[in-house]
Amino acid sequence: MANITKKVSWSSRGDESGGGERTPLLNGSEEVRYTRQLSGDGGMFHIGRLSTVDLEEDMTSDEDAGCPKEIPHNEKLLSLKYESLDYDNSENQLFLEEERRMSFLGFKCLEISRWVICGLIGFLTGLIACCIDIAVENLAGVKYFVVKQNIEKFTEVGGLSISLILWAVLNAAFVMVGAVIVAFFEPGAAGSGIPQIKCYLNGVKIPRVVRLKTLVVKVCGVICSVAGGLAVGKEGPMIHSGAVVAAGVSQGRSTSLKKDFKIFEYFRRDTEKRDFVSAGAAAGVSAAFGAPVGGVLFSLEEGASFWNQMLTWRIKPGDLSSPGLINFGRFESDSVAYNLYEIPLFIVMGAAGGLLGALFNILNYWLTIFRIRYVHRPCLQVMEAMLVAAVTATVSFAMIYFSNDCQPLGPDQSEDYPLQLFCADGEYNSMATAFFNTPERSVRSLFHNPPGSYNPLTLSLFTLTYFFLACWTYGLTVSAGVFIPSLLIGAAWGRLFGILLASITPDGSIWADPGKYALIGAAAQLGGIVRMTLSLTVIMVEATGNVTYGLPIMLVLLTAKIVGDYFVEGLYDIHIKLQSVPFLHLEAPATSHWLTAREVMSAPVTCFNRIEKVGTIVDVLSNTSTNHNGFPVVVPVAASDDMGKVCGLILRSQLIVLLKHKVFVELARSRLTQRKLQLKDFRDAYPRFPPIQSIHVSQDERECMMDLTEFMNPTPYTVPQETSLPRVFKLFRALGLRHLVVVDGENRVVGLVTRKDLARYHLGKHGLEEMQLAQT
């Protein structure tokens, strides 16, 4: 084994300790010293005392004091617990031999299999959507019926406080079940799942994100969350659910159930799995909104970091087989068509949506920081979720109780659970239409109820209240989405805007239809929070069944994105950053051309010779101080030179399989009938490769040799050490790499670039800044 120990000086002064290298001092960054011994993704950095966070000190002092432990957090930390996915195929001899043996008919069968898998993904995702919808409607229907009967009973005789307690208890009970299964059984099912799927498609291996257990908890959790009356939606969890379905179906087996159906074995690798997960996310959008085209565009715009043209067409059949569980109802263009002079008004609404969206994201950011620091224990997370459920019920009841907005209950009203309360006979409480309902039905009523169904004070109070409730709710340890709450907030203030226009303009009652402005406001608010443009336009058009509003919705979303981006990032990007995920954006920081590969790479690098001793390989893989996942294979130039010329790259997972099957040179010579290792052996071990501790290697076997020639990738991507950071970033990001070898002028290995080496640089307020690295 060759160990590249050449040290690269990152500053004019030498390293005093001699145990590592000094981080380059960038604008706005503080000096941090640590030992860099990373030879592959997932390697561990030995961090000294960070200037902003001392993990050891915080943990010991809090425990000694006997008070609740605070988890330190800093948005400029980058977590080292995340590894990368192998999106770059290893073109070793086994791979090339399989390609040569495959006939034209074999390739056609593989292509047909891809179409079949996409169809199965759409069908199963749609089936899950139907189950969620039926369960939510039935559970919520029973809850609202019981509470409604109780309110009507105590309205006449007094004692409405009992109705309030009943409502709050029912909400808290549903939410408690949803929070317990998430907090104690599968924390990966929390939230909408869209940030996690976005990271997965970017190449980050998020633990347990596409497991069967995650899917089950996600489905059950979102049913409990929506039925529990939280300000949440079903659409985000549906996208996550579709991605999990895709990851399972495409592999033809379940590792959780230990069941292998012996089908689709060719697709058992990260590259193929990535494309199917993209299809699953698109199917989730289609299942949620009934928007097949919008689903494809969502996966392209918001989800996938890598895309190919054939994937667009393969996703379509799966999306078309998914019914929409959210139906906003059809907008008739002849009754609520817009005029050209309304375009400036729509743009103003887009700017308002961007401002409100930025405010929502900023408040949720600080609330999430508080949760990370103080509400990190499962019991506290469950208690917080129950508190939010009870507060939501209490606030809703109070708003309904004190509202005097009574509307006639005519034949054109579509209220599911109308509350009369203190209104006269034949009338209902308008505030109850918004609060005493599932969020999807509330959005529909704001879109389609006739003018006069709400007064301005009702809409103003509802918008203000629901805005803060939704902001408080997003980020709880429950399965929940933010699409529908955002649409509901925007529809409320959009309808209010339309009512005010109709009252202050002479002929406003003719053209200022409140339902039309509710639609525009909903798009503006959602765009201001999640910053989607083209895909959200198509989703809204498909969900409402009217293409007439395509242009104004697009203008509104563009305006909302421009205004919102001026203040803060989108909600999903914020939560990705708060999780300290090494996410790679489309481009490198704009002012980073002066940095070179030599300055950002990890060194020294642990390398292997083409024919390596088994004991050496076992020792390297067993080293608990490192967790290297990729090793350059080198050819020694001279006996006295520690550095060698790169001739390949081999992964930890490949070495594990080789050790498991004892592919040793001596054994191959003594066993003439030994079965030759095939790609199937590697695919059978994917994705949960056994740990090195589970593989027994005897003392005699440690002295054997292993020939890596047939299994290594003989053509790894390499860059000269003087390559600028943007060029390294573009190559790494565009090709979906996990390891990029840095070589000198003689093609000798001097370093290795991994995801974390690139993700730690970002453009801050004071120029190019460098994130600190920690085992968070």
The whole-angstrom separation of Cα 344 and Cα 86 is 48
Residue 673 lies in a domain: yes
Q: Predicted confidence band at 78 (pLDDT cuts at 50, 70, 90)?
A: confident
pLDDT band at 508 (very low <50, low <70, confident <90, very high): low
| pLDDT greater at residue 397 or residue 52 | 397
Has residue 5 been placed in a domain? no
Distance from C-alpha of 80 to C-alpha of 87, rounded to nearest angstrom: 19
Asked whether residue 677 falls in the same domain as residue 754, the answer is yes
pLDDT of residue 316: 62
Contact 596, 726 (CB under 8 A): no
Judgement on whether residues 141 and 72 belong to the same structural domain of the protein: no
Asked whether residue 491 carries a pLDDT value surpassing 70, the answer given is yes
User: Which of 355, 579, 577, 371 lies closest to 472, judged by CA?
Assistant: 371
**CATH code of the domain covering residue 740:** 3.10.580.10
Confidence (pTM): 0.88
- Short-list 388, 417, 400, CA closest to 141: 417
> Which of 275, 299, 319 represents a domain boundary (last residue)?
319
Alpha-carbon distance values, 650 to 492, 617, 639, 734 (Å): 57, 12, 23, 21
pLDDT in tens, 198-240: 999 999 999 999 999 999 999 999 999 999 999 999 888 999 9
- 89 located within any domain: no
Question: For the segment 617-636, what is each residue's pLDDT rounded down to a tens digit?
Answer: 999 999 877 788 999 999 98
Question: CA 550 to CA 541: how far, in whole Å?
Answer: 6
- The 3-class SS string of 157-176 reads HCCHHHHHHHHHHHHHHHHH
Q: Please check whether residue 597 lies inside any domain of the structure.
A: yes
Is 682 inside any structural domain? yes
Inside any domain, residue 708: yes
Residues of the chain above pLDDT 90, percent: 55
Q: Could you give the CA distance from residue 773 to residue 776 in angstroms, rounded to a whole number?
A: 9
Give the residue numbers spanning the domain of 279: 99-255+264-319
CA 343 to CA 552: how far, in whole Å?
A: 7
For the cut 70, the answer to whether the pLDDT of residue 332 exceeds it is no
Same domain, 171 and 308: yes
Q: Are residues 56 and 163 in the same domain?
A: no
Q: What percent of the chain has pLDDT over 70?
A: 85
Residues 148 and 270 both lie in one domain: yes
Tell me which of 319, 334, 362 is where a domain ends: 319
Q: How confident is the model at residue 42 (pLDDT cuts 50, 70, 90)?
A: very low
Instruction: Please check whether residues 132 and 236 belong to one and the same domain.
Output: yes
Does 112 lie in the same domain as 75? Answer: no
Q: What is the pLDDT of residue 121?
A: 94
Same-domain status, 173 and 60:
no
For every residue of 690-719, which 3-state class applies, written as one string? CCHHHCCCCHHHHCCEEECCCCCECCCCEE
Same domain, 38 and 184: no
- Start-to-end C-alpha separation, the chain: 32
- Reported as a pLDDT band with limits 50, 70 and 90, residue 641 is low
Mean pLDDT, range 239-268, rounded to an integer? 91
Asked if pLDDT for residue 157 goes beyond 50, the answer is yes
767 and 628 in a common domain? yes
Binning pLDDT at 50, 70 and 90, where does residue 26 land? very low
Q: Are residues 73 and 107 in the same domain?
A: no
Rounded CA gap, 482 and 230, in Å? 11
pLDDT of 173: 96
In the chain, the amino acid numbered 9 is S
Domain with residue 303: its CATH number is 1.10.3080.10
Number of independent structural domains in the chain:
2
Q: Read off the DSSP letter of residue 302.
A: I
Question: With contact defined as beta carbons under 8 Å apart, do 239 and 153 qualify?
Answer: no
In a domain, 655, yes or no: yes
User: pLDDT grade, residue 347 (50/70/90)?
Assistant: very high
What is the rounded average pLDDT for all residues in the chain? Answer: 84
Q: Do 41 and 124 fall within a single domain? A: no
Indicate the pLDDT class of residue 318, thresholds 50, 70 and 90: low
Residue 583 resides in a domain: no
